[in-house]
Amino acid sequence: MLIVLFLLVAGLSCCGLTYWICNYALTKKLLDIPNNRSSHSIPTPRGGGVSVVVIFLISLLNLQFFDLITLDNSLLATLIFSSLLIAGVGFWDDFHAISARWRFSIHIIAIFLITLSLPQLPALILFNISLNIPIITIFFYTLALAWLLNLYNFMDGIDGLASTEAISVCVGALLLLLMGSETSWNLIITLLVVCLIGFLIWNWPHAKIFMGDACSGFLGFILGVFALLTALEGMINLWSWMILLAFFINDASVTLIDRFLRGEKWYEAHCTHAYQYQAHRLIQKFEGQGVPHKLARTRSHTQINLAVLAINSFWLLPWAILANIFIFWGLIITIIAYLPLIFLVRHIRNNRCLVD
């Protein structure tokens, strides 16, 4: 009963804090002004995802204080400090542009702090080969976390998408955890879900407030940390996490490779992800049916969010379960799960001329 009450308070607190941030941003004119890369047409408050970071981290401390979770104190301190670094630089970048060099440097520092705080990192498993050479695993996981953190920023481009993806990934992870023994991670991941639901109430299409880099970067980072720690404890292997996160990883990675091969400035902000093209295409379709632009945008973003939920629930989750059971075949199962999504992203991008 105490845990249920605790989670309810966290969710309501996140919802209330998001509402307050929205009103404050409107009062202070802290608005995201539409430009040629935007998926919105009306100036909208931003930075609302700070509520998720603040409530989640405070609640995490309270869970530890009341012995509802049993994390190592030094690991918890490092996790909170690293998360604040990620969220802090993201929040500053939301309102005062920071050079990519400085932003990336702070990301790497935060990632190094968390990787070096662990007694060891999960071995890289390929069939029956287990690679656990510290310098190689540290390098690999640093790059992987940095990419996951940044791709989450890239994919936060339409109402509710980043929250919807994180919630569905976390629910998938919880189902995998329930197949094993009860651990602190069940409660920690559930806590993140309720915080995100509290925020999503205001961020669901048509969004009253945007998430901002402070939270999108934090989500990519914290999901990566969840993956590392649950894999290290032998609860969810990394292949399963890669499958659960496949929608974002596919779109962001395929788009990056395409832009690089076309000689475009791949490191600059853009609006050429597959989900953005599809959102634009749906808006054109609805407007062609006489639907006003604001309503067409709301319907478009809602359809994409529901499609992501369906893909994650009915395609990716079953493969993630299989990969967690048959670890030896993890690579093969991951490839099978990814191939249709790669084809889908390539198909949408190859037909982008319809919306250019």
| Residue 133 pLDDT | 80
pLDDT band at 21 (very low <50, low <70, confident <90, very high): very high
Q: Nearest to residue 14, comparing CAs of 161, 191, 149?
A: 191
Cα torsion at 225, 230, 231, 232 (round to 10°)? 90
Q: What is the pTM of this model?
A: 0.94
What is residue 101's three-state secondary structure?
helix
Residues 293, 142: Cα–Cα separation, whole Å: 42
Question: Of residues 325 and 128, which shows the higher confidence score?
Answer: 325
| Highest mean pLDDT (candidates 84-93, 286-295, 311-320) | 311-320
Percent with pLDDT over 90 in the chain = 68
**pLDDT score of 44:** 84
Q: Report the range of poorest mean pLDDT among 38-52, 68-82, 109-123, 292-306.
A: 38-52
Q: At what angle do helices 330-350 and 317-325 cross, to 10 degrees?
A: 160
In whole angstroms, what is the distance from residue 207 CA to residue 201 CA? 9
| Closest to 286 in 3D by CA, of 205, 209, 214, 213 | 205
User: What pLDDT, on a 0 to 100 scale, did the predictor assign at position 355?
Assistant: 44
Q: DSSP secondary-structure letter at 131?
A: E
CA distance 172 to 58: 24
pLDDT band of residue 33 (cuts 50, 70, 90) is low
Residue 334 predicted with pLDDT over 60: yes
pLDDT bin (cut points 50, 70, 90) of residue 353 is very low
214-239: average pLDDT: 95
**Bridge pairing between strands 31-32 and 129-131:** unpaired
Average of per-residue pLDDT across 71-90: 95
Give the pLDDT of residue 192: 98
Using pLDDT thresholds of 50, 70 and 90, give the confidence band for residue 272.
Answer: confident
**Chain segment 189-214, per-residue pLDDT in tens:** 999 999 999 999 999 998 999 999 99
pLDDT above 70: residue 284: yes
163 C-beta neighbours (distance < 10 Å), count:
28
pLDDT for res 112: 93
